[in-house]
Amino acid sequence: MMKNGHAFSGLAVGLAVGLLTEAPPALGITNAALVAGAALIPDIDQPQATVARVFGPLSQAFARRVNDVSAAVYERTATPFDDDRDGGHRGLTHTLVFAAVLGLLAGLAAQWTAGLAVVLFLCVSLALRGLLGNTAKRRSWLATTATAGALTAMLVLALPDGYGTGQLGLLVGLGCAVHCWGDSLTLSGCPWLFPIKINGQRWYPIGTPEFLRFRAGGTAERVAVLPGWIAAAVALGFTYVPGGWVALGDLGGRALALAGL
């Protein structure tokens, strides 16, 4: 799945969790943004992905190293039943093991204000690029990063005391898991249950029934899957904000009145 699909699916799942846990709207929307940003992180094993380009040559160099490590781990752990592959994309970072470890590290880092700010900044930066898509791409790297920095500062000041440790770690891990689930909807599947063997394969590409899968970035994703996730995120957002649907109805009524309908 492409960056927009990952981001909007993460946003929708984050908003749904907020509704289920009855988190206050401001906090719940913040948490949803964190899940949306974290949902792009597993693609750090692909040097051309959004997460790899978010900080220019520095993050791309890191992504190339992650790709090398992922490829080496695959080579050393694959069974004779696993497919031959070239490169480390959709490998180690596309597993629940990675989601759990990264969530733990994020939770530990968030025990300190500086660590919390770093995690928030990274996730907000990714969320902006994923949710805004080409709009963010047309903006300068500096403008998008500055916007993420300003939003991060506001969040750090507004978040309640005690926020960060376990809660933030769970949100980051959830975002990574949502990414894996999204990739399971594509033709290639996703080995998110590594190292559990399935049909003799340690890197078994888990996916939905083949007739329900789509090609990443293909027509089905662009005209059906992505709009569906956007609609779900918008609907959940209006449901989350008190009076959201009423305000939307009033706005629609005024628009019709102005149009003379």
Q: What is the DSSP string of 146-168?
A: HHHHHHHHHHHHHSPTT-SHHHH
pLDDT of residue 249: 59
Confidence of residue 59 (pLDDT cuts 50, 70, 90): confident
Percent of the chain exceeding pLDDT 90 equals 41
Contact in structure between 119 and 103 (CB atoms under 8 Å): no
Find the distance separating the first CA and the last CA of the chain, reported in whole Å: 41
Q: Exposed e or buried b for every residue in 204-241, given b needs 16+ CB within 10 A?
A: bbebeeeeebbebeeebbeeebbeebbebbbebbeebe
Is the predicted pLDDT of residue 254 greater than 60, yes or no?
no
Q: Is the model more confident about 213 or about 204?
A: 204
Q: What is the mean pLDDT of the chain?
A: 85
Backbone angles phi, psi at 54, to 5 degrees: -65, -30
| Average pLDDT score over residue span 55-63 | 87
Give dist(CA 43, CA 67) in Å, integer: 10
Within a 10 A sphere around the Cβ of 67, how many other Cβ atoms? Answer: 21
Q: Could you say which DSSP state residue 218 is in?
A: S
Cis previous bond, 195, omega within 30: yes
Give the CA distances from residue 217 to residues 175, 209, 254, in Å, rounded to whole numbers and listed in that order: 20, 19, 37
Q: How many CB atoms lie within 10 A of CB 83?
A: 10
Across 49-53, 158-162, 181-185, 207-211, least confident range = 158-162
* Residue 20 CB burial class (10 angstroms; 0-12, 13-18, ≥19): exposed
pTM of the complete model beyond 0.85: yes
Total number of domains constituting the chain = 1
> Would you say residue 192 has pLDDT above 70?
yes
pLDDT per position as a tens digit, 76-94: 999 999 988 777 788 999 9
Residue 246 reports pLDDT greater than 70: no
Over 70: is that where the pLDDT of 164 sits? no
Supply the range of the domain harboring residue 138. 3-258
